[in-house]
Amino acid sequence: MTTTEKCTPETTASVLGVNGNIVRIELGDCRIMKNEVAYVRVGEERLKAEVLRIRANEADLQVFEETSGVRFGDKVELSGEMLSVSLGPGLLGTVYDGLQNPLAELAQLDGFFLKRGRDLPALHASTTWDFTPACRVGDLLVAGQTLGTIPEKNIVHKIMVPFDTTAAMKVSSIAEGRLRTEASVATLTDPKGRTQQIPMVQTWPVRRPISAMMQQQRLIDREFPSQPLITTTRIIDTFFPIARGGTACIPGPFGAGKTVLQGLIARYCSVDVVIVVACGERAGEVVETIHDFAEMPDPRTGGKLMDRTIIICNTSSMPVAAREASIYTGITLGEYYRQMGLDVLLLADSTSRWAQAMRETSGRLEEIPGEEAFPAYLDSAIKELYERAGVLRLADGETGSLTLIGSVSPAGGNFEEPVTQSTLGTVKCFLGLSYDRAYKRFYPAIDPLISWSRYREQLETFFNTQVDPHWSASVAAMQKLLRNGESIEQMMQVTGEEGISIEDYVTHQKSMFLDMVYLQQDAYDPVDVSVSLERQREMFLLCKQLIDTEYTFDDKEHARTFFTKLTGLLKNLNTAPIESDDYARFHAQITDLATDVSTAT
């Protein structure tokens, strides 16, 4: 149903009933559309809501606030606008709630406890920016092409022709110089001679992908991801790579290190913009993230990490209904920066709580439930979300990417529950965290025996040409070693060391050696916390050389002593700067130790 007129105060809808955060309204003479924004009036408060379902002369709203005090007959204002976000300069470095209200300004207004009914502008209208035109009067432009640029933090922010423009528009005038956020930057004329003022800030419905309409007009093309997202975490980049513009999930039980891993990926990975969506996480964790990002130096730009970060914060102490919207708010902001030709990383922590919010809403709507009471459309909702990631070839020939990494928090670490299973059927990289490894203080606690990446074959050409000609085969051989080592470990738990041959025992020791020195990193060490691809190559090839070497041992105790010393030296090597005297000394000691017991000698 489409909107033909906006409701006036005389024709506003009214409340029929309340069920938690679901409010049923009677429409009267109003016309309404799905996902339209509405405001439920409770005295002087206006509670923001979204239309979820329309039936005859009634509609169901999802209210993003507590609904205490809402009564039968209360007035409901219908805005005639979809649930949308503001897109323009000033987003970077800001902390928003799930509906893009700036939390810093809310705190200034309300203090420690935020009041309901607040709806603030996402961007400051009075802020001024240096606008440099990128087109001239008379140019013909299509949706998404650049009108001008603004320097913002460490990026060049492009002001673009509105994404819903359906025809080529002629530039009738173009501004230049210092402009306020609320100003118009250009005047465009359509083929019928109608003019349109283009503001610096445009809005976009969060549930509609920006790329969808532009792909229909053939203004952009979706490309096959062919470059890796370098996270500087060895186990990810080497064994389970993520493509730039790809999708990945990090499921794991509570306390397994999802938040720490995502934080380090955000800090060190090779992207221009990071968007963190804290969806239902504990407030303490989110406050720590905000504090750390504000103080942490950015190794990519030299400034602060927050300068290229946007945080969407909807913690466990904030309204549950807004969790569901917060993910869409974050991904729409990511699509916006991707349209500028930038590489964007979206971290969603966690999609389990997003799905739980959907489950609660679905239950109150009395929809037929699926497995574990999640809505029957859970699988399609997860797929639609992850499909908004990808690499796009833009109208001006540039390429932009949006990589989506979602963490999943299955109860009790049960990867068989619906959210995890639907996510695994959608993403192409699975980084499964293990409680056992986390309990042993392994970081990252990614289990190499259950994790996988479908990007390995897809990125094989890159790694074999840019890293090492035999990279893919070497990685496959090391994964086989890890599986063999696990099989021997299980055998030893039954028979003890005495029940296996010395050959199998050496294989087990080699597997443990690889795990300890390459799959694990020290998140507190300034050198080992972030490892470049070049250093990963050198360390991996050294480990493979040591593993492939045939050794002569007198007995199992001799083998254990050797690999214990070798592991200690390799760990010291990991924490030594590559050009330092310590690095050269440890490297020489490793060579001497291996030579002493190698079969070749």
Q: What is the DSSP string of 128-157?
A: EEEEEE-S-TT-EE-TT-EEEEEEETTEEE
CA–CA gap between residue 29 and residue 14 (Å, rounded) = 11
Same domain, 426 and 487: no
pLDDT at 598 over 90: no
- Residue range 354-361: mean pLDDT, rounded: 92
Q: What pLDDT shows up at residue 207?
A: 94
Digit-coded pLDDT (tens) for 151-195: 999 899 999 999 999 889 999 999 999 999 999 999 999 999 999
Query: In this predicted model, which residue has the larger pLDDT, 1 or 476?
Result: 476
Q: Report yes or no: 573 and 587 within 8 Å, Cβ to Cβ.
A: yes
Element housing 406 (H / E): strand 399-408
Residue that terminates a domain, selected from 200, 215, 236: 200
Q: Are residues 146 and 253 in the same domain?
A: no
Rounded CA-CA distance 450/423 in Å is: 15
pLDDT band (50, 70, 90) for residue 9: very low
Look up the pTM and report it: 0.94
Asked if the structure places residue 459 within a domain, the reply is: no
Residue 91, domain member (yes or no): no
Residue 218 lies in a domain: no
Residue in 146, 119, 100 with CA at minimum distance from that of residue 275: 100
Please state, in angstroms and rounded to a whole number, the distance separating the CA atoms of residues 318 and 95. Answer: 14
170 located within any domain: yes
| Structural domain span for residue 169 | 128-200
Same domain, 188 and 305: no
Percent of the chain with pLDDT over 70: 98
| CATH number, residue 69 | 2.40.10.170
Same domain? 252 vs 399: yes
pLDDT of residue 2: 36
Annotated binding site: 252-259
Residue 413 has pLDDT above 90, yes or no: no
Write the CATH number for 174: 2.40.50.100
Decide: 392 and 223 in contact? Cβ < 8 Å. yes
Mean pLDDT of the chain: 92
What distance in Å separates the CA atoms of residue 209 and residue 338, rounded to the nearest whole number? 12
**Rounded Cα distance, 547 and 478, in Å:** 9
**Alpha-carbon span 293 to 267, nearest angstrom:** 8
**Domain containing 356 — which CATH number?**
3.40.50.300
Helix (H, G, I), strand (E, B) or coil at 463: helix
| Mean pLDDT, range 327-341, rounded to an integer | 96
What per-residue string of b and e applies to 448-465 under the rule 16 or more CB within 10 Å gives b? beebbbbbbebbeebbee
Q: Do residues 569 and 435 both lie within one domain? A: no
Question: Region 387-396: what's the mean pLDDT?
Answer: 91
Task: Using the structure block, give the residue that is written with the tokens 């509670």.
Answer: 47
Distance (Å, rounded) from C-alpha 336 to C-alpha 441? 39
174 and 303 housed in the same domain: no
Q: Nearest-CA neighbor of 201 among 90, 96, 102, 326?
A: 90
How many residues would you count in the chain? 601
272 and 139 share one domain: no
Question: For residue 155, is it within any domain?
Answer: yes
Domain count, the chain: 4
Question: Residue 219 domain-assigned?
Answer: no
Q: Do 274 and 579 contact (CB within 8 A), yes or no?
A: no
pLDDT at 563 over 70: yes
Q: What's the pLDDT band for 600 if we cut at 50, 70, 90?
A: low
In terms of domains, do 519 and 574 share one?
A: yes
Q: Are residues 547 and 425 in the same domain?
A: no
Domain boundary among 390, 424, 453: 453
Phi, psi of 337 (to 5 degrees): -70, -30
Q: What residues have CB less than 8 Å from 458, skipping those under 6 apart?
A: 224, 225, 226, 243, 428
Amino acid (one-letter) located at 222: R
**Residue 181 falls within a domain, yes or no?**
yes
Q: Each residue of 191-234: pLDDT tens digit? A: 999 999 999 999 999 999 998 888 888 888 999 999 999 999 99
The SS3 assignment for 274 reads strand
Residue 174 domain-assigned (yes or no): yes
> In this structure, are 233 and 363 located in the same domain?
yes
Give the domain-ending residue among 142, 166, 200. Answer: 200
pLDDT tens digits, 282-309: 777 788 888 888 888 888 888 899 999 9
Burial letters 90-120, b for 16+ CB under 10 A, else e: bbbbbbbbbbbbbbeebeeeeeeebebbbee
Residue linked to tokens 């819903």: 164
> 447 and 487 in one domain?
no
- C-alpha dihedral sign at 215, 221, 223, 229: negative
Whether the bond into 79 is cis, omega within 30 of 0: no
Question: Are residues 291 and 173 part of one domain?
Answer: no
Q: Which residues contribute to the annotated binding site for ATP? A: 252-259
